[in-house]
Structure 1
Amino acid sequence: MTFNDTTKYLIHADVTADGVVERSDVVGAIFGQTEGLLGDDLDIHDLQQSSRVGRIDVEIASQAGQSTGTVTVSTSMDKVETAVLAAALETIERVGPCRATLEVSRIEDTRAAARREVVGRARELLSTAFDETALSSDELLERVRESVRVEDITEYEGYPAGPRVADGDAVIVVEGRADVLQLLKYGIKNAVAVEGTNVPEPIAELTKDRTTTAFLDGDRGGELIMKELEQVGEIDSIAFAPQGRSVEDLAREEALAALREKVSLRAVADAATPREVIAATDGSTRPAPDETSEVAGAAETAESPAEPSGPDAEPAPDEGGATAGVEAEPEAEPEPEAPASLREHAEDAIGGGTETVRLLDGEFAELASAPAEEAFEAVRRAEEPPRAIVLDGELSQRVLDVAAQRGVSQVIARERGQYVKRPTSVRIRTFDELVGPA
């Protein structure tokens, strides 16, 4: 529907007729039954001629012998005149040959509607149009560096590769071109892609001449590539992305952490399946524990020297653990072990409702702790930059920013806050996401 530029108000009315009527019947009833009702100054014919009343728009439909619809009248009159005209419309009692009622539902101020549109559009522009101007100097430089790295992608025997694959001493074998591009963004220039689960001959030959690490997706495809590399190439070590994720999806810190935690191919090959390489809390990979350690411990116990006998021998303890004739000293209660993993720290600090923040190093040993409300200062002033944070509270934008600046790779918080910008280098998880809802 279009109205002239001077329209101030829209009169919205509902019409009901006891019979089948059409649009022209409703318009005719409006002109016919209001004629002379309001005097010459407010006659609808004259008001339309002077453009003080615009088009009368009618939408009506009939069903089961009854017609219902809406009427919209635009006016450029003031509030009082518009209200009087609206009241006059409600005097209509017949439409065509049928009894009818017309009831005004609302009078809309078109300028208020326009203001709402302006406000809504201004909000959109505020949140989108100024994005690029909000980039910091560091972010701008990093984007330029990333674009240069992407442009450095080359080919090795027809397969996507970083620029140092051809003449470097070490290579990283990945699955696809997207993985090579992602690693290039992070400054890793010696990756080469096999482009599928079938390892091509040029890549297989390359692994025999270089120190080779396979960096594979954490899914069935990654396991298949690893098995084929065992057969056709020579792999020195292997790293997996976290279970169910791809190398191309990893943030910088996640990718570097997985490569730092790479294991020898022998450790993976000795396991029943590659997934027996345990995924650590930080997403890296470590070999499964050696099950023979328990057997060895049991054997050592079995082969320990027998108790000494003879007159110089100490009396044997009785069933209660005390030596005959000597009162047994009460055993000291063992001290609780310190949390050794990110999950244990989260369960202890957040699950225990301590309302504290813990700063952890790369091995998840506690560097420092403080009340949750002092998290910003604790991270900012930490002598040794933390690698992980456990926060029993809401992770605010301010704390997230200082964590990114200090090189924190992951944060576990009781709940997320509202973020204007979210650093890609920091992995954020809530307590429920890490350990599952209670």
Structure 2
Amino acid sequence: MPYTGIVKYHVKLSYEVDGLVERADIIGAVFGQTEGLLGPEMNLNELQRVSKVGRIEVEIKTTENTTSGTALLPMSTDIDTCALIAAAIESIDKVGPFDCKFHLDAIDDVRASKKEDIVRRAKEIKQKWSTKSVSEGDTMLKDVHEGFSGKITTYGSNKLPCSTGIFDSSWIILVEGRADILNLLRAGYDNALAIEGAKIDETIKDFCATKDKVVAFLDGDRAGGFILKELKSVVNIDIELRADPGLEVEELTPQRVADILKDATKDIKQQTTEPKKVSEADKQLAEATSKVYNDLNETLEAVGLDSNNEQLFKVPISELVDKLSTQTGIKYLILDGIITQRLLDGANQSGIEYIVGHRIANVSNSDGVILKTFTELGIT
């Protein structure tokens, strides 16, 4: 009958026999000389019958006139029973006509080993998932496939890949390649230029000189360090940023991209907005938003407010578009997430006037809904 128990422990023993014997002799001695020592319920035959002991594995090595080796018993009993069985086997002093000696080497907890394997595999899964997943799942992937390729163009005589926003933006993000630009577009940044290799194109230097701020955002590997050093010898870099160690910019999730760029973005927005006057409408929007921000932040939820700043609903972002299709009277929509095209389309259908979120993706806003970030309103 095959062994069907769940192995908890491996009892490992070594043995020496003063004579030449075979594997079957060792197994016979283990079963025969422990029988009756600990009572009928602890006979190895009985324990095997009830799937408490698995098949005993014996390794054998012979010399001219001795035999030695190891024996392994897989057991699904408690540790006390394991210890008793091990002690009983250690009491064996004969294999056939020959003197012998058994010694317990270890009792390994198989579950502990499995736990280590599970934790190690979980770390691998987490790493793989975190580098390949994107915020808001299928919606943003759809945006990438259908819309982001149209947001990439080229710059200069060498046709360096760039996002279309670099020409109008007051600041620029220098990355290593086209895939990095796509990933930044997913996170809502359309002002990236790819340097395409360690040899820096001279046109990059000229173009960066026209910008108020230059941010270098490079891979977290050794090559990224070399490229950064070369880039700094050609271009005046205001802010140096790197992907997480061992990762490339293209592998980061949109949320991680935003986290890394957060401080740089905040500084730049403060510089560009400080000389401007805040409109009365923005003051009212900031006031309404600040009242719900603390309870909303880091919840992945959204809140709808009416014209009197009364809360109409609070739902998970994953349910927001469906909620907008049935809700009326919303003036302010405030969410702990990214303002995407799909969300904006749903808001247009509901007559929403203002949307506030952490970031704004590349959207077409022909209906004039006012889009703001918490940073622009001075809330974060």
TM normalised by structure 1 equals 0.36
**Larger C-alpha radius of gyration, 1 or 2?**
1
Which structure would you say has the larger RCO, counting Cα contacts within 8 Å and 6 or more residues apart? 2
TM normalised by structure 2 equals 0.40
